[in-house]
Copies of this chain bind each other. A is one copy, B any other.
Amino acid sequence: MEQQRPYFEALTRLRAANLRPTRQRLALSRLLFDNGDRHITAEVLHSEALASNVRVSLATVYNTLHQFTKAGLLREVVVDSGRSYFDTNTTPHHHFFFEKSGRLEDIPGLSYTVNDLPPPPPGTLIDSVDVVVRLRETGN
């Protein structure tokens, strides 16, 4: 029989975010959150949905990713002009970006602070400090 816990978790997540638990949102929620930390683009999530027989349009995938981001369930990571990545890990952390393959992953461990950061300019507040380590894949 099918696992029930993940379904209820997805349901709870959506209710907490004040989003109606539609078939599409439940399915996308499970694809995103049932399997640990993920870094995913809209196109890839859409493909995964279709591959698991979830009928959902690309427009809905985009809408859902933005709704989840606004609700604090996802964090958008900018590493590539032209594509948006969404990260299921919303706690502060940094990223490795594999330039050739376009893969994005968390930097493990506590590699975390930036030294000597000056105060933000007057009239501004820091929204986030984004650290991306760009990697060249040498294949050896």
Contact = CB atoms under 8 A, between A and B. Distances in A.
Interface residues of A, number: 43
Contact of A134 (B98, B121, B128): B128
Interface stretch (A22-30, A63-71, A77-85): A77-85
A111 interface: yes
A39 to B, nearest CB: 14
Most buried by B among A81, A84, A107, A123: A81
A138 interface: yes
Interface in A77-129: 78-84, 94, 96, 98-99, 107-118, 120-121, 123-129
Contacts of A99: 127
